Amino acid sequence: MVKATRRYFFAARNEKTPDGYVIQFVNMPDLTAKGTTYQETVYYAYRVLANFLLGLPKKSAPLSAYTLTSLPDDEPDPNVFYSLVSATEDFDPHKMEMHFTLPQAPPDEIRRMAGQLAHLTTYHQKRQKDPTA
């Protein structure tokens, strides 16, 4: 029998901006990570979350105060999406994982939403105008 590893889940608001990405934790609004690529921003988000969780005083609010209870209502901004960050009990950022969620929908709608998510997480660098051209 495989032993299950306990994981805590934290909701994250992901935003694609003109300069890169911003990830903010829903239940910890002061925790923010910024980066140029999505992968870089996820790495920073894991580090920020780990530092916060490892620094919690022993007599602070229970960990459940920071874990997922609900996701905010859908935002009209097409550059914003939500994900879940899972952390093991030791809060090691190298063991954290980003999980994407899609609501139950017909297959064509799921494909469309997955395509939109893939587009948002793909970094497209702005092309600089060549001054010699």
* Residue 12, in any domain of the structure: yes
Distance CA 4, CA 83 (A): 22
pLDDT at 130: 45
Q: What is the DSSP letter of 87?
A: E
Looking at the domain assignment, is residue 29 inside a domain? Answer: yes
Q: Is residue 27 part of a domain?
A: yes
Backbone angles phi, psi at 62, to 5 degrees: -60, 150
Tell the residue number behind the tokens 């063991």, with chain if given. Answer: 95
Residue 130 lies in a domain: no
Digit-coded pLDDT (tens) for 8-33? 999 999 999 999 999 999 988 899 99
Give pTM, 2 decimals: 0.80
Is position 131 within any domain?
no
**CATH number of residue 53's parent domain:** 3.30.160.250
Q: Has residue 50 been placed in a domain? A: yes
Instruction: Find residue 99's DSSP bridge partners.
Output: 84
Residue recorded with tokens 């994900």? 83
Domain tally, the chain:
1
For residue 56, the model assigns a pLDDT of: 83
- Residue 2 domain flag: no
Boundaries of domain holding 57? 7-121
Beta-bridge mates of residue 34 = 22
pLDDT at 2: 67
Q: Is residue 71 part of a domain?
A: yes
pLDDT at residue 60, as a whole number? 59
| Positions in the chain short of pLDDT 70 | 1-2, 59-61, 74-75, 123-133
